[in-house]
Structure 1
Amino acid sequence: MAKCGGCGKFISSAECIRCTRCPGAYHPGCVGFPAAAKVSPTWLCPGCKAKAPRQDNSATPVKSAMADCCTETQNPLSDPAASATDLNVAYEIRCFRQELGAMRDEFRQFQSELLSLRMTVNDCNQRMTTIESKVSDIERRFEEQSPANFDAVEASITALKTQLNDRDQELLQNDLIIAGIPETKGENAFHTVRVLSAKLGVTMDEQDIVNIERIGAVRRNFIEGVDTPPGEPRARVIAVRLARRGVRDQLLRAARVRRGLTAADLDVSGPPRRVYVNERLTQTNSKLFHSAREAGQRARYRYVWTKDGRIYARKEDGAPAQRIRSDADLAQIFGSGRVG
């Protein structure tokens, strides 16, 4: 089995035509012969014809295009370059059709995805329209509400806050705050409180103290009197929780009697600052008491104090005490609101 010199494919001996000068074999279709045509015994392949020398055939009549064929149905030999070009063109057309089909499939897929995206966008638009209508309805209802309703709501919120603050203050009925005691490393706060109670003349058992701790942010490597910046709070205060309220009241009364007690009297190292013993307040009451004291100084009130977690103010001796519960009371009693 030989290979065709035109297309390069294998061909059987019965189906091929052979050149009479070289061993080349060809398909009839590759050299332009019809299937029923009879090949001339002196047939030459295109390569051998191109190599044959030209002769002077001017006296010879014009040769018919079918001279190489023994029958009138034979076609002239095709140009090999033209045949190869036709094959290349056919191959290019086939590839182009395949690419065109792939592009058509991709375009159909793109149309499907675009349709899905359009449906999703429409759904989002409908949801946004629903949300906008609900927001508009809420705004309309809000605008229709009268100012009296808002005042009632604010009054209710204020009352609830006051109740919660009063309950938190009740939980601190047995607590004390001790300020002015220097803070040192490895200090024994329990011993300091026992010494303080002894200096005030109040007998305190070990079972009377439930818990002792310094409250506030921890400052590491803190040394009293050295690391204290000007205008900054010095040492953290000590919060003491007692088991009996009677002991707490005794300490408060004794501390009011002996107001000149200092840290030096307690055998505590550090600057001899004055020691203060007060009842512990909630954060809200503590801020309110601070504002009340400042407002009382401006309004020339002689007394502003706390008792059992409640804040009172008295203009002068013999005047009735007025209780302060909120900022509104500050404005009503002192004629100003909270400071800071």
Structure 2
Amino acid sequence: MAKCGGCGQFIAASAGIRCSKCTGCYHRACVGVPAAATPAPGWLCPGCKAKLPKTDNSATPVKSAAADFTETNSPPTDTTASLDLAREIRSFREELSTLRAEIRDMRQETADFRAAIGGCNERMDEVEHRVTNLEQRFEARDPSPYDHLEETIADLKLQLNERDQDLLLNDVIVSGIPESKAENPAHLIKTVSLKLGIALDDRDIVNVERLGMVRRNFVTTASQGDITERPRPRVIAVRLSRRAVREQLIRAARVRRGLTTADLDLPGQPRGVYVNENLTRSNARLFRTTREAAQRQKFKYVWTKEGRIYVRKEDGVSALRVRSEADIRKIFFGDGPV
């Protein structure tokens, strides 16, 4: 198999034409010879024709080709069309292979996505099933164990509160005494006790201090049409060494309810001075709520004794103890038996 002298590709001897001078083999399309045409005897290739002596312009390769064949602009031969078609088919096959690979990847990704969605749906179904079971169990549950637990917690809170209150059985609270930087709380308490008819000495007082932050609360007063603000004095907490002294001081304060700052020779507008039991924060809040409810329901007496809160609607009626807000609802609003 020889190579074409024009394009350099291999060519079968039967598919090409040979030059009668250089015996070179050429594709018919490369030298412009139609496939159906028969070359003249002694056909020369364009290279050999160019080497012939020039006699006139008809010896040039283009002219000789035009002289030998009448078809100057012949259409592409079957071989050229076959080559172009083969190239297009090969390119189409490559593109088709690439497209198939991409489609295969897309199918795999779609399958993975469907599997992930299926797993999510299964988990969601499981969660919904568990939530439904919990709702059914909650709706069908027996409330008695939970109610018993709540009652137990409430009883424990009451016990802790009563224990904290027992620790304050030797304490009293004195309110209404104005504050000053140079004050002596112990001297003020002794003065208050003397005005109440109880003589206290240093051995009777364990500790005296004001409770709360300085200038924490303010009250508004009107003076000659002008509104001014002054700090509400903090209460004084007193711990006594004996409970008997504490009871005497509280009884004396309840007998003499009109004690004011003027009786103590303190400067400023006269204001009431009160001596009460020292209650825990929970009992103090409960006592305030009880007094408000008793005022609305026209109860005549509300008092504390040894940290316990009692109410009585009128004279001749037995006193009732208030231990929690539930007791307030029962006593004042008839919410269940007392």
TM-score, length-normalised on structure 1? 0.58
Match of 2:331 among 324, 330, 333: 333
Matched, 1:235 2:228: no
* Structure 1 residue 119 displacement after superposition: 3.4
1:130 aligned residue: 126
Q: Distance in 2 between matches of 1:289 and 1:316?
A: 18
8 Å Cα contact 1:178-1:237 kept in structure 2:
no
* Structure 1 residue 211 displacement after superposition: 5.0
Q: Distance in 1 between matches of 2:268 and 2:111?
A: 81
1:168 aligned residue: 164
Tell me which moved more, 128-137 or 262-271: 262-271
8 Å Cα contact 2:173-2:238 kept in structure 1:
no
8 Å Cα contact 2:216-2:231 kept in structure 1:
no
2:48 aligned residue: 41
* Structure 1 residue 307 displacement after superposition: 1.4
2:30 aligned residue: none
Q: Distance in 2 between matches of 1:223 and 1:333?
A: 33
Matched, 1:195 2:188: yes
Q: Which amino acid aligns with 2:235?
A: I
Q: Tell me, which stretches of 5 or more residues in structure 1 are unaligned?
A: 1-14, 18-25, 45-51, 66-74
- RMSD of the alignment, in Å? 5.2
Matched, 1:293 2:300: no
Change (3 A) 1:125 1:199: same
1:314 aligned residue: 312
Q: Distance in 2 between matches of 1:235 and 1:286?
A: 18
Q: Distance in 2 between matches of 1:175 and 1:110?
A: 83
* Structure 1 residue 183 displacement after superposition: 5.7
DSSP-derived class of the 2:123 partner: helix
Q: Tell me, which stretches of 5 or more residues in structure 2 are unaligned?
A: 10-15, 18-23, 27-44, 52-59, 195-199
DSSP-derived class of the 1:40 partner: helix
Q: Which amino acid aligns with 2:193?
A: L
Q: Distance in 1 between matches of 2:322 and 2:186?
A: 31
8 Å Cα contact 2:175-2:275 kept in structure 1:
yes
Q: Distance in 2 between matches of 1:119 and 1:206?
A: 84
2:278 aligned residue: 280
Match of 1:159 among 144, 155, 165: 155
8 Å Cα contact 1:303-1:315 kept in structure 2:
yes
* Structure 1 residue 306 displacement after superposition: 0.7
Change (3 A) 1:214 1:278: same
* Structure 1 residue 233 displacement after superposition: 11
Change (3 A) 1:240 1:98: farther
Change (3 A) 1:223 1:318: closer
Matched, 1:244 2:251: no
* Structure 1 residue 257 displacement after superposition: 3.7
1:118 aligned residue: 114
* Structure 1 residue 235 displacement after superposition: 1.9
Q: Which amino acid aligns with 2:47?
A: S
Q: Which amino acid aligns with 1:41?
A: C
Change (3 A) 1:127 1:64: closer
Q: Distance in 2 between matches of 1:153 and 1:109?
A: 61
* Structure 1 residue 153 displacement after superposition: 4.5
Larger radius of gyration: 2
Please list the CA deviations of residues 102-130 of structure 1 after superposition, one character each: whole Å capped at 9, or x if unmatched: x6666555544544443343333333333
* Structure 1 residue 167 displacement after superposition: 3.0
* Structure 1 residue 308 displacement after superposition: 1.8
Change (3 A) 1:196 1:138: same
8 Å Cα contact 1:214-1:236 kept in structure 2:
no
Q: Distance in 1 between matches of 2:130 and 2:214?
A: 47
1:11 aligned residue: none
2:175 aligned residue: 179
TM-score, length-normalised on structure 2? 0.58
1:209 aligned residue: 207
* Structure 1 residue 305 displacement after superposition: 0.4
Aligned length: 282
8 Å Cα contact 2:250-2:277 kept in structure 1:
yes
Please list the CA deviations of residues 109-165 of structure 1 after superposition, one character each: whole Å capped at 9, or x if unmatched: 554454444334333333333333333333333333456556545443432332233
Match of 1:62 among 43, 62, 69: 69
Q: Distance in 2 between matches of 1:142 and 1:297?
A: 42
* Structure 1 residue 312 displacement after superposition: 0.9
DSSP-derived class of the 2:235 partner: strand
DSSP-derived class of the 1:260 partner: coil
Matched, 1:253 2:260: no
Q: How many percent identity over aligned positions?
A: 37
